[in-house]
Structure 1
Amino acid sequence: MTDGFDFSPGAQVPLSGSAGQTAATYALASAAYREDDEVTKILEADNEWHQSTVKAPRPWAKILRPRLGEAYSRAVIDRMLGAGRKPLIQSFGTEPQVVVEHCLAAHRIRRERDNWLTAVMVLCGVLFLPGLLVWLLVFQLRTTLGKRQDKRAGALATTLLVGVGALAVIFLIRMPFTGFWAWYARAAVVLPVVGWFWAKQICERTAKDLRERWDSLLAGGGLGAKIPEAVPGNPGDAAEQLRKELARLSAEQRSNSVFYAGPKGILGMGTRWGSWQLAEDLVSAEPGKDFHPFRSWDVITAIQGGLAMLERTSINTGGFPKPSITHWIVTPIGENAKEVSRPTGTDVDAYTIKTHAIQDICNKQQFGSGDRHYLGVQWTLWDGQLIITMLITVTVLHDTLRIEVTGHALGPVNALFTTKPAAKEKEVAKAVKFWETRKVKLPLVDADEVVRLAARAPLTWYPPLLNWLGGSLTLPEPFGLRHAWADQPWRHRFMADDALRAATPVLRVVHAAAIRVLKDNGVDVEKFGTRSSFLSTQVQDVAPRKADLYDA
């Protein structure tokens, strides 16, 4: 399925994103390398509109549960590159391809680890299955007891492991068998333990690599994603299909089609926090003479030219950075819709609606069903952590011209994604000066984690079975990397100030451009000027509101 996009082989030039959008991108990418948290931790990052779903493991297979990084990277890869996937929501202020590439890199690192662990499991476990099953049962009971809040349960879990170890030693000394079965029984007791030590070295090495990449991304992205499997060797191989899906992802990110989901606002842009409307009758400036006819597109074009000058100022104060100005086609969907459908046909090229179709929608689809046209001016600030979007729409019904300006703001990604890896250490009392404490470094991977990884490794060759046993992560729909885990900007004083301050200049530029077009076409602009002055006064006291929640 090409959706009108050219997936032919050739050099791929990244067109989305820019410098200054790295913080949010790397924060989302860093989650792929996280090994310290349970997958349920991601539920804390969900906002009120978008909720992830974590499928719990089978009660008797909790040892096969995934960690946050494992589940996150697998879910993102399947959702954004999977065959027959649903359309995605644009991730403004981020580069989703970079996030996906890091998920692929993290998955490759874990796959290499799991290959080694699988070999260990076969040599030291499967060949001595009775001993392996006994040790796994012990660790499963220890994990179950250790997760209880009661301190005595934790002590009991440790006692259980020590007790079984003691029984194993007695079993080795007082062997009830003779001959071949005696040696096999000894091996069944010892070799799973030897395999555990071998697996621990493998897990420690991989954990160190993952933590370095996690920390590097949050520090500025020093380590890049390595995905050699994305380099095609010949047409038709898996790498070629992966390249096509990455190209499709980039094309979808550049689409000018967005979706309005009721109180959720425009998906990817955040909820609507403010709205200002200028609406007056069109009356000729010369009595007895008609004004020159014009179209909504003429007004929009003039407004677009004025918005392009926002970065210019007569006072050197820094001011606005260069904004992104785009003609958006907004499609309404249900508040609880679980998927979206992008426009198709001859008027669409690589998910982007062509200019002539945009003009037709702008001039004709102003009442009743159908898509609507909005001119958007957008700033990506705070290294991609704040997205400010001001949308302008022009409608003419009967002899009334209405110009509406709405403000949208998408806040920073949840703090979960910006948390750096904590040092593995604990405080213990000193041997002599027992009233003082010292910090002791702990291994990156503890005993239970080694067993969990080793038990999961053979099943990673068939993910559906592993997900059925150990559980999985389902991403919120309609899915977009950026808006799924975005917080409100109003809790950050400076981010809130930036969003509020952008409204007044945009509103005045829009009104000035519109009045200039009206005047050039012989329309009496006195009422428009009075109304514009009133709105300019009103916007001085701007405050964020839930503009999409109508009190009706």
Structure 2
Amino acid sequence: MTIVYGPGAQVPLQGSDGQTAATFALASAAYRDGPMDKILEANSDWHKSTVKKGKWHDLFRPDLGEAFSRAVQVRMLGGARKALIQSFGTEPQPVVEHCLAATNIRRRRDIRLTLVTVLFGVVFLPGLLLWLGVIQLRRSLAGAADKRAGALGTALLLGMGLLAVIFLIKLPVDSVLGLYLRAMVIAPPLGWVLAKRICESTAVDLRERWDGLLSGGGVAAKIPEAVPTDPAESSAEELRQNLEKLTAEQQSNIVFYAGPKGILGMGTRWGSWTLAEDLVPQEGKEIHDFRAWDVIRPIHDQLKLLERGSLKTGFPKPVVKHWIVSPVGEGATEVARPEGENIVTFQVRPHEIQRICNDQQFGSGNRHYLGVQFTLWDGQLVLTMMITVTSLLHTLRVEVTGHALGPVHSLFTSKPKAKTKEVSKTVRFWETREIKLPLVETDEVVRLAVRAPLTWFPPVLDFLGGKLVLPEPFGLRHAWADKPWRHRFMADDAIRAATPVMRAVHTATIKVLQDHGVDTERFANRSLVLSGLIQDPGPKKADVYDA
């Protein structure tokens, strides 16, 4: 029997309904140009990216898209990578796929640039080094605060061109050395012209994909290397398995609580409402024994019915899920997912969830929470209400907390703009006009051409040009999330979602207590008080204790 492998297939985009905007916004960063320092503008209060500069940063520096793609690929697909934080409101696999696709586009460009560099540069190495020295000196002078120094750099480059012309005219041509010296001077500029055309065509392609993602996502990530074309092709199989592992970890039911940072990936806790009263039997009856899980199950069923409102403008369909919450330090730089026989593909088994819910309510250890999550604004807003039930001695405590994860930073939602410059008119100098600049400037062509031969040695490029260092513990979504409270309607949605969720929880709790012979008068009164308190119009910093 012969196994036939198809030609490099495309891995389809895995975006899901209701959360494509945030996914495509993050994916668009893989195709962006501009300085990589710009991503520092998207740093939040808790999660800060950093830029590590290389030994020759000016000449070998990566741009934003190159640095982002490299950092995300290494962090999310590396063989010995650390645990990842779930990206609620997004699908991380399409983002990684677009990083791979952008890397492939740049690699094809770099292959052609390498050929140009070898033919027009390495063969005529003395001339190449001379031109690079002049360009590097010009760049250094142009970056100076003194404008006269910048003008001197430009004059130096023009002077070098004039000397090259004189050199060509005056140099004798009756020897092989003379011909080589002439070619040595003229070959690097000719190579630059060819390299500029290659760079511009690639830049147009990248910008079209960048714009396409932000305009509706009609851009597929082509990564044929993720599908084996031969039984012995282990690298493609390894990449495919890493992508599957990434998706499996995204579905994990284990999350991490990092103090004032809140639940990593879900955002900070902005509100907390507690229903806690003593269990008193009904008159003439005894309380039938029950445990926390017996209360959680009806709450779960009641929350599933939230979308079935009496009004046509009811809730969107919520995701109701049992979570195991593990505590980590506020300044933790990594998290460790639990392992063992009770963990299968990053999921805690149902019987272990029930045991934690009933037994681990006090002291050390993980805790159980029931979560109801709403993904709104096309993935830009993630609202999570977490419910936990504890019983100590004769007191039953039902706590509802609200977490909100805001939209991705506006840096990721900006579309590409043409490069322009405002200058004064020649005659009417008091008026200005806008001129269009080249998409790829001279210095950018040189940078790409110099980096191209080292594309196959990424660690060397990191050493020479620098790299983007991602915030840890890393998750694509929460690393660059903005606060939802700056957006009026998003803030309203977060506050409004709390009331029906809390009332559904209280309704289910009181019914369970009545069925087990508990006098629910105090619980009902306390529920009414909380119903009034939850209408407080402002969110609080519930995880920041004034102590």
TM-score bracket, shorter-length normalisation:
over 0.9
Structure 1 residues 542 and 520: CA distance shift in structure 2, 3 A: farther
CA contact (8 A) 1:57 1:470 kept: yes
Given the alignment, which residue of 456, 463, 467 partners 1:461?
456
- The residue number in structure 1 matching 2:3 is none
CA contact (8 A) 1:33 1:69 kept: yes
Given the alignment, which residue of 180, 185, 203 partners 2:181?
185
Aligned-partner residue type, residue 275 of structure 1: S
Structure 1 residues 369-401: Cα deviation after superposition (integer angstroms, max 9, x where no partner): 100000000000001000000000000011110
Mapped to 1, the partners of 2:106 and 2:479 lie a distance apart of 25
Mapped to 2, the partners of 1:295 and 1:15 lie a distance apart of 44
Mapped to 1, the partners of 2:203 and 2:514 lie a distance apart of 68
Mapped to 1, the partners of 2:445 and 2:471 lie a distance apart of 31
* Superposition deviation, residue 434 in structure 1: 5.3
Structure 1 residues 272 and 12: CA distance shift in structure 2, 3 A: farther
- The residue number in structure 2 matching 1:114 is 110
CA contact (8 A) 2:57 2:466 kept: no
Aligned-partner residue type, residue 30 of structure 2: A
Mapped to 1, the partners of 2:57 and 2:256 lie a distance apart of 41
2:479 maps to 1:484:
yes
- The residue number in structure 2 matching 1:23 is 21
SS at match of 1:380: strand
Mapped to 2, the partners of 1:416 and 1:509 lie a distance apart of 38
- The residue number in structure 2 matching 1:214 is 210
- The residue number in structure 1 matching 2:492 is 497
2:395 maps to 1:400:
yes
2:83 maps to 1:90:
no
- The residue number in structure 2 matching 1:6 is none
CA contact (8 A) 1:259 1:266 kept: yes
Mapped to 1, the partners of 2:527 and 2:429 lie a distance apart of 75
Identity of aligned residues (%): 67
* Superposition deviation, residue 309 in structure 1: 1.1
Structure 1 residues 542 and 306: CA distance shift in structure 2, 3 A: farther
* Superposition deviation, residue 172 in structure 1: 1.8
- The residue number in structure 1 matching 2:170 is 174
Structure 1 residues 388-418: Cα deviation after superposition (integer angstroms, max 9, x where no partner): 0000000001111000000000000001101
Unaligned runs of 5+ in 1: 1-10
Mapped to 1, the partners of 2:301 and 2:281 lie a distance apart of 25
Aligned-partner residue type, residue 147 of structure 2: K
- The residue number in structure 2 matching 1:226 is 222
* Superposition deviation, residue 12 in structure 1: 12
- The residue number in structure 2 matching 1:131 is 127
Mapped to 1, the partners of 2:292 and 2:216 lie a distance apart of 45
Structure 1 residues 339-381: Cα deviation after superposition (integer angstroms, max 9, x where no partner): 1111211211111111111000000000011000000000000
* Superposition deviation, residue 176 in structure 1: 7.6
* Superposition deviation, residue 15 in structure 1: 12
- The residue number in structure 2 matching 1:50 is 47
2:310 maps to 1:303:
no
CA contact (8 A) 2:15 2:23 kept: no
* Superposition deviation, residue 142 in structure 1: 1.3
Aligned-partner residue type, residue 76 of structure 2: M
CA contact (8 A) 1:234 1:240 kept: no
CA contact (8 A) 1:17 1:93 kept: no
Structure 1 residues 192 and 52: CA distance shift in structure 2, 3 A: same
1:313-392 paired onto structure 2 within 5 Å: 313-316=309-312, 318-392=313-387
* Superposition deviation, residue 425 in structure 1: 2.5
Using the TM superposition, name which of 341-350 and 471-480 deviates more: 341-350
- The residue number in structure 2 matching 1:274 is 271
CA contact (8 A) 2:255 2:324 kept: yes
Mapped to 1, the partners of 2:272 and 2:63 lie a distance apart of 43
CA contact (8 A) 2:11 2:223 kept: no
* Superposition deviation, residue 426 in structure 1: 2.6
SS at match of 2:237: helix
SS at match of 2:435: strand
- The residue number in structure 1 matching 2:142 is 146
Structure 1 residues 351 and 13: CA distance shift in structure 2, 3 A: farther
Mapped to 2, the partners of 1:368 and 1:535 lie a distance apart of 27
- The residue number in structure 2 matching 1:8 is none
Structure 1 residues 507-534: Cα deviation after superposition (integer angstroms, max 9, x where no partner): 1111110000000000011111111111
Mapped to 2, the partners of 1:171 and 1:55 lie a distance apart of 42
Using the TM superposition, name which of 379-388 and 426-435 deviates more: 426-435
CA contact (8 A) 2:228 2:236 kept: yes
Given the alignment, which residue of 502, 511, 517 partners 2:506?
511
SS at match of 2:391: strand
1:429-468 paired onto structure 2 within 5 Å: 429-430=424-425, 436-468=431-463
* Superposition deviation, residue 29 in structure 1: 0.3
* Superposition deviation, residue 297 in structure 1: 0.7
SS at match of 1:502: helix
CA contact (8 A) 2:111 2:452 kept: yes
2:408 maps to 1:410:
no
Aligned residues: 538
- The residue number in structure 2 matching 1:34 is 32
* Superposition deviation, residue 216 in structure 1: 0.6
* Superposition deviation, residue 548 in structure 1: 0.7
Structure 1 residues 69-119: Cα deviation after superposition (integer angstroms, max 9, x where no partner): 000001001110111111110000101000000000000000000011111
SS at match of 1:233: coil
Structure 1 residues 313-342: Cα deviation after superposition (integer angstroms, max 9, x where no partner): 2222x1210000010000001111111111
- The residue number in structure 2 matching 1:159 is 155
CA contact (8 A) 1:230 1:243 kept: yes
Query: RMSD of the TM alignment (CA)?
Result: 1.8
* Superposition deviation, residue 429 in structure 1: 4.5
- The residue number in structure 2 matching 1:194 is 190
Mapped to 2, the partners of 1:252 and 1:364 lie a distance apart of 26
Mapped to 2, the partners of 1:250 and 1:350 lie a distance apart of 10
* Superposition deviation, residue 164 in structure 1: 1.1
Using the TM superposition, name which of 152-161 and 134-143 deviates more: 152-161
Aligned-partner residue type, residue 532 of structure 2: T
CA contact (8 A) 2:372 2:384 kept: yes
Structure 1 residues 194-229: Cα deviation after superposition (integer angstroms, max 9, x where no partner): 100010010000000000000110111112111111
SS at match of 1:466: helix
- The residue number in structure 2 matching 1:64 is 60
Structure 1 residues 226 and 187: CA distance shift in structure 2, 3 A: same
* Superposition deviation, residue 190 in structure 1: 0.5
CA contact (8 A) 1:16 1:254 kept: no
- The residue number in structure 1 matching 2:250 is 253
CA contact (8 A) 1:16 1:250 kept: no
When the two structures are superposed, what TM-score results if normalisation uses the length of structure 1?
0.95
CA contact (8 A) 1:92 1:269 kept: yes
Mapped to 1, the partners of 2:533 and 2:411 lie a distance apart of 38
Structure 1 residues 404-449: Cα deviation after superposition (integer angstroms, max 9, x where no partner): 0000000000011011111122334455655554433222101110
SS at match of 2:247: helix
CA contact (8 A) 2:10 2:221 kept: no
Mapped to 2, the partners of 1:212 and 1:62 lie a distance apart of 27
SS at match of 1:540: coil
CA contact (8 A) 1:73 1:106 kept: yes
Structure 1 residues 290-318: Cα deviation after superposition (integer angstroms, max 9, x where no partner): 210011111111111111111122222x1
Mapped to 2, the partners of 1:427 and 1:445 lie a distance apart of 18
Aligned-partner residue type, residue 31 of structure 1: A
Mapped to 1, the partners of 2:474 and 2:275 lie a distance apart of 35
